[in-house]
């Protein structure tokens, strides 16, 4: 095996970033370290899920009426604990909790950030050993430091994000995060239990040949969406062949898109007439990250997803996201259909 001599850990990297930006307070670095710690704890549970009593349903439904898995609850608890302990955010909102959670201790209240999180994404994959993930998003609070955070701190358009990222628990475990400046990818080295910089300055390939969408709902999608999908499906042997992939975990779809290029679509249909994926916990962070890597994300024809003003925490939204040239094709087809 070819292994590099000395790879920078997540902690070392965030500390080095502080040196490059003398005005930085270190709060964001502290937050990322807290998220990394919770991710390692979740990773341990995921790795031994089959032998620990952690597979299956928790026996309740969440605020969105979806059945909650034991690992959803475990992951949620880990991220809440890590963020509360970190003192680097004044509150958080989770897909698994109806309301946001203010951190009211003196230190946390002084901090300038709030965090939104989908603690376990792709939870339908847990019991069958397919990739799952965590998605997080960081905003600067609107309310004054030193006071309890309020709902308005969490309901900001995605374009206001300070940082966003995901953890993928896959064939290896990775933490990928974007700031306004760059996207960096770290792989968990199980030997030392640290996330190590493995994918510096990630860029989403401009072109791609993969499209990802739940084809089971094809006939329920609106005509322009069907036209977009049709444009990827070869009608003759001579045409460019796109490959179709659908993992059932947005984190895995986005990770593949960042590495190999392509598009991921989750349109509105039938019962999910506002889309299925959540604006604040899933679509905003992934759109921020993909845009920072050079890609594009829309919620409707001509509508940049990051410009949408959220009206409520658990709002859903359609998403069309991925490599720039493929997304320009999507945009073009949408505008023709209008
Ligand atoms: P979650 O596990 O947080 O509820 O999210 C699952 C989401 C997303 O990750 C995935 O892309 C989508 O649900 C899959 O939905 P379908 O089975 O309808 O395609
Ligand atoms: Mn999710
Ligand atoms: Mn989830």
- pLDDT, tens only, 250-287: 999 999 999 999 999 999 999 999 999 999 999 999 99
* CA-closest residue to ligand 1 atom 12: 248
- From the CA of 144, how far away is ligand 3's center (Å)? 30
Domain map of the chain by residue range? Answer: 10-199, 210-337
Q: Which helix (H) or strand (E) holds 87?
A: none
To the question of domain 210-337 being in CATH 3.40.190.80, the answer is yes
- Ligand 1 atom with minimal separation from the 216 CA: 19
Please, are residues 18 and 26 in contact by the beta-carbon 8 Å criterion?
Answer: yes
Q: Which residue has the higher pLDDT, 19 or 158?
A: 158
pLDDT digits (tens, 9 = 90+) for 64-107: 788 888 899 999 999 999 999 998 999 999 999 999 999 999 99
Residue in 266, 268, 279, 283 to alter for ligand 1 test, most ligand atoms within 8 A of Cβ: 266
Looking at CATH, the fold of the domain delimited by 10-199 is given as: Fructose-1,6-Bisphosphatase; Chain A, domain 1 (3.30.540)
Please classify residue 131 by burial: count the beta carbons closer than 10 Å to its beta carbon, then call 0-12 exposed, 13-18 middle and 19+ buried: buried
Query: From the CB of 72, is ligand 1 less than 6 Å away?
Result: no
* CA-closest residue to ligand 1 atom 17: 248
Radius of gyration of the CA atoms of the chain, in A: 20
| Residue 145 annotated as lining a ligand binding site | no
Query: From the CB of 315, is ligand 1 less than 6 Å away?
Result: no
Is the CA virtual torsion 101, 102, 106, 107 positive or negative? positive
Distance CA 256, CA 209 (A): 12
- pTM, two decimal places: 0.95
């Amino acid at each position: 095996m070819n292994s590099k001599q000395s790879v920078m850990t997540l902690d070392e990297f965030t500390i080095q970033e502080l040196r490059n930006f003398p005005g930085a307070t270190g709060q964001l670095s502290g937050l990322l370290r807290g998220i990394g710690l919770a991710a390692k704890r979740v990773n341990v549970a995921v790795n031994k899920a089959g032998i620990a009593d952690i597979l299956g349903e928790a026996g309740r439904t969440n605020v969105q009426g979806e059945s909650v898995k034991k690992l959803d609850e475990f992951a949620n608890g880990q991220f809440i604990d890590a963020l509360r302990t970190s003192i680097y955010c004044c509150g958080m909102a989770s897909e698994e909790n109806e309301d946001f959670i203010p951190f009211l201790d003196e230190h946390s209240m002084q901090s300038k950030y709030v965090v939104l999180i989908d603690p376990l994404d792709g939870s339908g994959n847990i019991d069958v050993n397919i990739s799952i993930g965590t998605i997080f998003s960081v905003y600067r609070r609107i309310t004054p430091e030193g006071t309890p955070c309020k709902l308005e701190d969490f309901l900001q358009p995605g374009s206001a994000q300070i940082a966003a990222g995901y953890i993928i628990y896959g064939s290896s475990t990775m933490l990928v995060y974007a700031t306004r400046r760059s996207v960096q990818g770290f792989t968990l080295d199980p030997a030392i239990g640290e996330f190590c910089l493995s994918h510096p300055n990630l860029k989403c390939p401009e072109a791609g040949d993969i499209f990802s969408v739940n084809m089971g709902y094809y006939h329920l999608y609106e005509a322009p969406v069907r036209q977009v999908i049709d444009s990827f499906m070869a009608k003759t042997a001579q045409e460019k062949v796109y490959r179709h992939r659908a993992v059932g975990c947005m984190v895995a779809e986005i990770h593949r898109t960042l590495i190999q290029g392509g598009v991921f679509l989750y349109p509105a249909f039938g019962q999910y007439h506002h889309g299925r994926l959540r604006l604040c916990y899933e679509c905003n962070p992934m759109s921020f990250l993909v845009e920072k890597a050079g890609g594009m994300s829309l919620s409707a024809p001509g509508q940049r997803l990051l410009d949408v003003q959220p009206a409520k925490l658990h709002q859903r939204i359609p998403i069309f996201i991925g490599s720039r040239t493929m997304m320009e094709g999507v945009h073009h087809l949408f505008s023709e259909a209008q």
